[in-house]
């Protein structure tokens, strides 16, 4: 019986990670992540550090092999490398989890800190494929307005780890646990060793954990979100503006070399003709205007100015153009109803191996980099732009996955989030669906409406509760129109950022180990 339980741990960890991966859009639903963490937490119980690291690696492989499957399209070897790096964060986190008492808070703290590290390193981090993106359609997603994506990760892990505390299993008695690397053999079958015992469930720990998750979910549900909050009422009714999002449509799974820039621009111009008078803001996607030289003084600037004047609306559009032989700019420009260029923002957070190649001289020995001949010049702004239609916080494409970019623009005064993006090179719906989840997360975090524009979808309007009010289909031409409020109320997350959650995660991890070591010392003293 004991050996049978031990043999279930690796598949439990792998399946647990796979359930987390399947919880992300477009595949599954939010409870799958809770179930997945439950299996992982159960598998880690009473295992030595080396074993916990291996089980964590299996869980990470299960999660990211599914949630990052979009990367296979671009480079199989790169997908494998990416998978192993991202799974490594889960492996290290699990190695740091206390094996006995204190395992529940330790697992929460370790996985939150691992997610923070994963979103920061290497090359600026990779939030895609993370737990939080799978929670946007469930009650735990709203906790983002209290503590951002890291709190969403924390409450999800706490829910799963608390359920794992209800499951009985096998343990070594304190003081008799095998050293790291000691193997369990089939000799244990049928003859339980005297240093093994049945590990009871921990209902008190489970009840406390579930109570904490429930309390945070309830607080988040009633916390100010920028609509109808005390701060918004004090400032008076928010001013609404009429907006239009333009999606030109077209084939997906093609790179910029396969689709001429003129075709993309023509599609956007054609659909903009469907925008009626009275709209105050027209949003175009990222790099919908591809030029061979600077935007200012170009024919494209005159064309966009004419469109803004004819609609008497502010036009926000993405522009790219080369700078010399090795660099290019990725900018968002805003033209006033009078046709004047009133704001420019340059993308800050670039896509590694997509918009630039870090350590190009090193990686060119291992891969053909001809598809990325130029590196994007990084911007330095907050992301907030001021236009006649209002002040907007701009997150360009990949920046949508990083909470600090939303914080930056809103803290600078942005009252609506704008996400001009371009996911046309992805042939499947996985990356666009995860980006839509990231947009929901940003809207909840900042208590702002969010407008997302993509050449081939998804384009969407999301309210400050993370609800999708309108959304296009992939590939089809479309125009979304709506009236949305310019909000100014502050969420708790916008006020405090990630620091409180990071401190709490550290306390939970350290506290978990303190509890485990305290129990071990007491058991030794009793003997």
Residues 160, 256: one domain? no
Strands 384-387 and 341-346: unpaired
In a domain, 187, yes or no: no
What DSSP element (H or E) covers 197? strand 196-199
Tell me what pLDDT residue 432 has: 97
In a domain, 440, yes or no: yes
Q: Are 177 and 99 in contact (CB under 8 A)?
A: yes
In a domain, 343, yes or no: yes
Residues 211, 324: one domain? no
Burial class (CB in 10 A: 0-12, 13-18, 19+), 140: buried
Local confidence pLDDT in tens for the 527 residues of the chain: 455 667 899 999 999 999 999 999 998 899 999 999 999 999 999 899 999 999 999 999 999 999 999 999 988 989 999 999 999 999 999 999 998 889 999 999 999 999 999 999 999 999 999 999 999 999 999 999 999 999 999 999 999 999 999 987 644 443 444 444 444 443 334 434 444 445 556 788 999 999 999 999 999 998 766 544 444 544 457 789 999 999 999 999 987 767 888 999 999 999 999 999 999 999 999 999 999 999 999 999 999 999 999 999 999 999 999 999 999 999 999 999 999 999 999 999 999 999 999 998 888 877 778 888 899 999 999 999 999 999 999 999 999 999 999 999 999 999 999 999 999 999 999 999 999 999 999 999 999 999 999 999 999 999 999 999 999 999 999 999 999 999 999 999 999 999 999 999 999 999 999 988 886 676 666 66
Tell me what pLDDT residue 254 has: 82
Residues 218, 303: one domain? no
Residues 260, 296: one domain? yes
Residues 245, 166: one domain? no
Residues 54, 60, 61, CA angle at the centre, nearest 5°? 90
Q: Are 352 and 358 in contact (CB under 8 A)?
A: yes
In a domain, 193, yes or no: no
**DSSP state string for 402-470:** -HHHHHHHHHTT-SEEEEE---TT-SSSHHHHHHHHHHHHHHHHHT--EEEE-SSS--EEE-TTS-EEE
CATH of the domain at 254: 3.60.110.10
**Number of other CB atoms surrounding residue 345 within 10 Å:** 25
Work out how many domains the chain is built from and give that number: 2
Residues 287, 436: one domain? yes
Q: Print the domain residue range for 481.
A: 231-490
Residues 248, 369: one domain? yes
CA–CA distance, 292 with 29 (Å, rounded to integer): 44
Tell me what pLDDT residue 236 has: 58
In a domain, 401, yes or no: yes
In 248-353, which ranges are E strands? Answer: 281-283, 289-290, 314-323, 327-335, 341-346
In a domain, 251, yes or no: yes
In a domain, 342, yes or no: yes
pTM: 0.91
Residues 205, 253: one domain? no
Residues 502, 483: one domain? no
Residues 238, 385: one domain? yes
Tell me what pLDDT residue 428 has: 94
Helices (H), 119-143: none
Residues 425, 454: one domain? yes
Residues 505, 479: one domain? no
In a domain, 375, yes or no: yes
CA–CA distance, 112 with 510 (Å, rounded to integer): 13
Tell me what pLDDT residue 369 has: 82
Tell me what pLDDT residue 371 has: 81
Tell me what pLDDT residue 326 has: 93
């Amino acid at each position: 019986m004991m050996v049978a339980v031990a043999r279930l741990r690796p598949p439990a960890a792998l399946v647990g990670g796979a359930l987390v991966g399947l919880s992300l859009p477009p595949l599954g639903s939010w409870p799958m992540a809770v179930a997945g963490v439950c299996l992982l937490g159960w598998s880690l119980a009473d295992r030595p550090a080396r074993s916990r690291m291996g089980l964590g690696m299996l869980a990470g492989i299960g999660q990211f092999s599914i949630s990052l499957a979009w990367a296979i399209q671009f480079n199989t070897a790169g997908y494998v490398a990416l998978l192993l790096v991202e799974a490594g964060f889960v492996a290290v986190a699990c190695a740091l989890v206390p094996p006995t008492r204190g395992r529940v808070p330790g697992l929460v703290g370790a996985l939150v800190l691992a997610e923070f590290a994963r979103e920061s390193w290497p090359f600026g981090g990779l939030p895609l494929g993370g737990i939080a993106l799978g929670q946007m359609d469930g009650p735990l997603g709203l906790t983002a307005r209290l503590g951002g994506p890291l709190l969403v990760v924390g409450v999800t892990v706490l829910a799963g780890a608390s359920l794992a505390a209800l499951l009985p299993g096998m343990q070594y008695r304190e003081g008799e646990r095998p050293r790291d690397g000691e193997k369990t053999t089939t000799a244990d079958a049928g003859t339980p060793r005297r240093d093994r015992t049945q590990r009871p469930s921990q209902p008190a720990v489970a009840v406390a954990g579930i109570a904490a998750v429930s309390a945070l979910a309830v607080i988040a549900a009633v916390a100010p979100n920028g609509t109808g909050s005390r701060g918004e009422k004090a400032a008076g009714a928010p001013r609404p503006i009429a907006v239009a999002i333009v999606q030109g449509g077209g084939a997906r799974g093609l790179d910029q070399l396969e689709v001429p820039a003129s075709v993309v621009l023509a599609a956007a111009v054609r659909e903009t003709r469907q925008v009626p008078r009275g709209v105050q803001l027209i949003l175009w996607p990222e790099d919908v205007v591809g030029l061979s030289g600077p935007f200012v003084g170009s024919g494209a600037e005159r064309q966009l100015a004419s469109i803004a004047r004819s609609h008497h609306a502010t036009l926000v559009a993405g522009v790219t153009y080369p700078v010399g032989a090795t660099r290019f700019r990725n900018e968002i420009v805003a033209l006033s109803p009078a046709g004047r260029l009133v704001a420019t923002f340059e993308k800050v957070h670039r896509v590694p191996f997509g918009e630039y190649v870090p350590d190009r001289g090193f990686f060119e020995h291992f891969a053909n980099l001809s598809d990325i001949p130029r590196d994007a010049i990084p911007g330095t702004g907050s992301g907030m732009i001021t236009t006649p239609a209002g002040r907007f916080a701009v997150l360009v494409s990949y920046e949508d996955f990083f909470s600090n970019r939303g914080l930056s623009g809103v803290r600078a005064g942005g009252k609506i989030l704008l996400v001009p993006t371009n996911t046309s090179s992805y042939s499947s719906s996985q990356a666009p669906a995860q980006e839509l989840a990231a947009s929901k997360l940003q809207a909840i975090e900042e208590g702002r409406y969010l407008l997302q524009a993509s050449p081939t979808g998804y384009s969407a309007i999301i309210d400050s509760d993370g609800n999708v009010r309108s959304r296009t289909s992939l590939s089809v031409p479309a125009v979304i129109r709506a009236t949305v409020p310019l909000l100014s109320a502050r969420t708790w997350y916008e006020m405090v950022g990630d620091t409180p959650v990071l401190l709490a995660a550290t306390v939970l991890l350290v506290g978990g180990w303190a509890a485990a070591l305290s129990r071990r010392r007491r058991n030794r003293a009793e003997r």
